[in-house]
Structure formats: C-alpha cells, structure tokens
Amino acid sequence: MPHPESIAQRLARFNTEAELAPANIWIDRKAVAAGADSGPLAGLLAAVKDNIDVAGFPTTAACPSFAYEPTRSATVVERLLAAGASVVGKTNLDQFACGLVGTRSPYGPVQNAFKPEYVSGGSSSGSAVAVALGLVDVSYGTDTAGSGRVPAGLNNIVGLKPSRGLMSTRGVVPASQHIDCVSIFARTVPQAIEVLMAVAGHDPECPYSRHLPLDPAAMPEQFRFGLPNAEQLEFFGDKQAQAAFDAAVVALEGLSGTASRIDYAPMLEAATALYEDVWVADRYAAIREFFDTRPDEIDPTVRTIIGAGQKYVAADVFTAMGRMGLLRQYADSLWKDIDVLVVPTAPTAHTIAAVQADPIVRNRELGYYTNFVNLLDLSAIAVPASIRPDGLPFGITLIGPSGSELRLADLAQRFHQQTGLTLGATGEPLPAAKPIPRVPGSTVKVAVVGAHLAGLPLNSQLLERGARLLSTVKTAPHYRFYALAGTVPPKPGMLRVAKDGAAIEAEVWEMPMTAYGSFVAGIPGPLGIGSIELEDGSRVQGFLCEASALEGAEDISEFGGWRAYLGRAKAAA
C-alpha cells in the first residue's frame, strides 16, 4: 500500500534523521535509486547491503580497494525498484560478508541500536540497524551463516532468510555462493513477506536460482514445535538470554503450541562444518583473485577465515557433500513430527570490546543456532521476543523446510503480536496483524456450515490439510438448513431455495489447492461441494446437499446456524 507521504517528503525527513544516526551505518547514501510510481511497494524507502549491486552506487563489500561501479543493479534490486520501493543508501557490513558481529569493516563497527557498546550483529549490520532506527522501511542483507538473522535478533526487528534459490543472487558479491541467500529486514512480518512476494522468483541469469513454489498451507492453529534437547541448548553463561528463551517457549505454548525435544547434534555438526571444514573453500573461491594478489588489504580476521579454504582439494569437497547430504536427510525427517523448529536467534550478546579481543571465538558463539540452516536447505524467520532486563533485545528464530516461508510467517506474526513490543528502536507501537499473502491461485476458499466448523468433530480434515480460518460470515438469505437423519457424526445439509430462504452462519477457510482434491473426494453423498453465495454477494466453494437427503431431516433454518442448533439440543438434553 502506498505510503501516505510523498517520496520527496520522506527523503527530506530521511536525510535529517540519517544525519543524526549513529556513525558507520552507511557506506554511501548520497544517491537515490527511485522506484516505480506504482506497485505493491510504492513509497517504501529501502537500504541495500554493500555487497549487492545498485547502479549509481559503488559496491565495496567493505573493502575500498575492491570497490567497483556497477552499471546494472542486482536482480533483487531491479525487482525491488520495479515494485515501487526507492533505494536511499548502501549499508556497512562485515567485510566480504564474513562475520556475525558487524565489527570487521574499515568504515568502523556498527553499534547496536539499543546499547551502542554492544555489537549490532553481522554481517548485515548496517542494513539491520537502519531498519531498527526507522531510517528506512525495509532493507536487504545477505545470509550465509546467519547474517540475515543475528542482526535482527540483536536489534528487535524481523529478519527473513528465504530458501536458497528463491531470491536471485545475480549481482551479489558472494560470501559462499553455493549457499548464499539475499535476506530481508523489516519491522513487521507482513512487511517482510510483502517484499519477498514482490521480488522472489526464478532468474535464468543466476546459476543458483531454482523454480521453488512456496507452500501455501497455513501454520495450524495447534502446532508442534521442536526444541533442541535441554543439554544441547547453549547460552554461554548468559542467564538473561536463557530466561528470555524459556519465556518465549511458554508464550508459544500459550499460542496452542506443543513442544517436543529433538536431537540437535546433526545441526551442530553442520554448523561447525561451515567454518571449519571444506565449505570455507567456497568463501576463498568467491574472491580468489583479489585474495591471492592483495591479501594485505583484507581485514586480518577475515583473511584468516577465508585463507583456511586454500588447503582443501577437490576430493575433500565431494566427501563433505556426501556427509552433508546425510545430515540433510536427518533434517528432512524432522517435519514428520514437528511443524517448526524453534531456537534462540542468538545465544548471547557481546560487547564490541569483547568481540575485538577474541573475534573468532565470539563470532562462533553467535552462530550456534544459525550456521547450519543454509547447508541443510531450510528456510527461517527471526522475530523479536522480548527486551531483556539489561535493555538488550532477544529474539527467536522459526525454521522450516525449503519453501515454508508463508507457514513460518503465520506463526511469526502470531508470536510477534503477543509480545507487546514496539517496532525496532523507534518506540512506535506494533500495528494490528495483517493477513499473510499467498501466491495467487495456490489456495481455494471453502465455506463450511456444520461438522467442519472450528472445534467440531470433522474440523481436523481441514487442519491436517493446512487450511486456515479466514472469517466467520453468513450466507445470503437464499438457503434452508436441515439436521440430516442418521449421520455420524451429526451433520447438517444446506439447500438453495427460490423463496423463503434464510441466512446461515458459515466459516470461510483457505486451503492449499494441492490438498483440495483429497478433501472433496472424502465428502460422502448426499453432501457435496458447490458455489455458495455469501451475504456480501461474493461466492466461494461450500457444502450443499441433494434434495433427496431431506427425507426424515429436521428443518433448523430458524436457528441460523449449526452451533446454535447444537446449543439448543444440548440444553434440551
């Protein structure tokens, strides 16, 4: 939806506020890449991490001697502009996107939006803090090991890490190009998903892009969430973080979630492999020529990490791929028993001084819950959970299989809404929940009037197919309603009539189109699915019955709905 202020008004305010922002967020904000006049993102201001090309801005990857002037924007930027957003600056990062701390930049460390002595998280540090402070509406980061999630968790914003290949990486300076993702920062879950829906999609110019349909199924109202075994949870002595996570688990249970424990060891093995095995060779390959010819111009910590990739040979790669494939099989098996995996976004928060004193160990600690996600081909969304007693934000991350972004977003918004938190570091209240958009044509609306209503015996047939309740409505006053004889469980029948009709209470559910066929096939005669007219004149698919079913049935139209009839029957008993 277009922003109420004009772009000119917003830019004037942006320039004033940006001048007052903490130092080292921006690498370049002198130019503006203006978006289209209309589109789903019209009027939004965006920032872009400076390892992603924007025509008119230099790309430095936080290494001035590496800088170049792109003549074309990255695919994700082209699509962002086409959707109406305007890019107002390039943001600071850990050099070559190597780090989870936000301190490895010649432009200086990016300070936490809440407590400046603490790290902001990286490598997408500037992008996250610009959103947290309200300087821009949304921003792009990248995520290889957690760079789109850790900064979100440490700055009280949403960080969406899409499935690999869902968003193009053409025009992105890679960190580890086989598993890199462009990530999205926003202050609310719906805003992040709106950006995703506007820019995602296959790109034939990107070698890692893939045709990946989003699962349209909703997160069930009653969901199962996995947690690492208690002895595998790690907070590195941070009691406040541990207490915040325990409280988040209780809140999830309060949202009708059921917790179960999983073995986190395979995830830890994958996480360790990202920096301490052959996979680091992908980082070396990404900047090999520059690394070999100008190593002294690279941050010493970054040079140490990437340089470790030089020792591996091709045979090591194939051995590691086989082992990672087995770990991926384990991850895939989880979804039979849980709907979502829940972990802390970061196990603790470090000061800038502590990171500078021991940069590799402190960085490794921050990646305890993030490093494995891309290697195991999973999707994730980091969402704020609370503000700790010491004033630092704490967040959790919801993790699901590839393509599950919309399901994760359903639960992420439900969780965010009950936190009572304000937006980022702005102090602004969290707006009311918005429907998470679905891919057009991927779902179908179904009106139910009887045993499939929420909480009634056949409602499970909707829930197990990933359907979600949209609204409670009434039909147009063109129907007669009957309690059918001899049905188990008891069911009503609704019949359209030419006169003397009544309006009947109904629930409208949204179901994935892929599940709709099996749902309809399971409906026993004389019931069936037809077109139902609602009180607002719209039509959806819904339950009707054949006239022959009315023999021995009781006309219950006067009750106006199945629940009212059941209430009468219960009272009479």
Annotated catalytic residue 239: no
Catalytic option among 49, 161, 445, 491: 49
Q: What angle do CA 171, 324, 375 make, to 5 degrees?
A: 35
User: What is each CA distance from 546 to 148, 458, 496, 527, 528, in whole angstroms?
Assistant: 55, 20, 10, 7, 8
Per the annotation, the verdict on 147 as an active-site residue is yes
Tell me how crowded residue 312 is: count the other CB atoms within 10 A of its CB.
Answer: 18
- Which residues have a Cβ under 8 Å from the Cβ of 96 and sit 6 or more positions away? 51, 61, 62, 63, 173, 175, 283, 286, 287, 298, 302, 306
Longest dimension (CA), the chain: 89
**Pairing relationship of beta strands 527-533 and 539-545 according to DSSP bridges:** antiparallel
User: What are the boundaries of each domain within the chain?
Assistant: 7-417, 443-572
Q: How far apart are the first and last CA of the chain?
A: 52
Using DSSP bridges, classify how beta strands 138-143 and 181-186 pair: parallel, antiparallel or unpaired: antiparallel
pTM surpassing 0.75?
A: yes
CB 457 within 8 A of CB 451: yes
Which CATH superfamily hosts domain 7-417? Answer: Amidase signature (AS) domain (3.90.1300.10)
Q: Kindly report the number of other CB atoms within 10 A of residue 498's CB atom.
A: 6
C-alpha to C-alpha distance for 7 and 37, rounded to whole angstroms: 10
Indicate which residue of 73, 105, 124, 147 is catalytic.
147
Is 123 a residue of the active site?
yes
pLDDT in tens, the chain (573 residues): 445 566 677 777 777 776 666 668 999 887 788 888 889 999 899 999 999 999 999 999 999 999 999 999 999 999 999 999 999 999 999 999 999 999 999 999 999 999 999 999 999 999 999 999 999 999 999 999 999 999 999 999 999 999 999 999 999 999 999 999 999 999 999 999 999 999 999 999 999 999 998 988 889 888 999 999 999 999 999 999 999 999 999 999 999 999 999 999 999 999 988 888 887 888 888 889 899 899 898 988 989 988 888 888 889 888 888 999 999 999 999 999 999 999 999 999 999 999 999 999 999 999 999 999 999 999 999 999 999 999 999 999 999 999 999 999 999 999 999 999 999 999 999 999 998 988 877 889 999 999 999 999 999 999 888 888 888 999 999 999 999 998 999 999 999 999 999 999 999 999 988 889 999 999 988 899 999 999 999 999 999 999 988 989 999 999 999 999 998 866 765
Please report the pLDDT score of residue 524 as a whole number: 87
Residue type, 413: Q
Q: Rounded to whole angstroms, how far apart are CA atoms 573 and 445?
A: 35
Q: Which fold has domain 443-572?
A: Hypothetical upf0131 protein ytfp (3.10.490)
Q: How far is CA 361 from CA 264, 313, 364, 392, 549, in A?
A: 20, 26, 5, 21, 72
Nearest to 510 by CA among 449, 443, 458, 427: 443
- Cβ contacts of 301 within 8 Å, gap of 6 or more: 99, 104, 359, 360
Q: 68 vs 52, 65, 270, CA distance in Å?
A: 11, 9, 34
Please report, for residues 196, 243, 340, 406, 522, the alpha-carbon distance to residue 380 in angstroms, rounded to integers and kept in the order given.
13, 22, 10, 10, 34
- Among 86, 105, 123, 183, the one annotated catalytic: 123
Alpha carbon distance 389, 452 (integer Å): 45
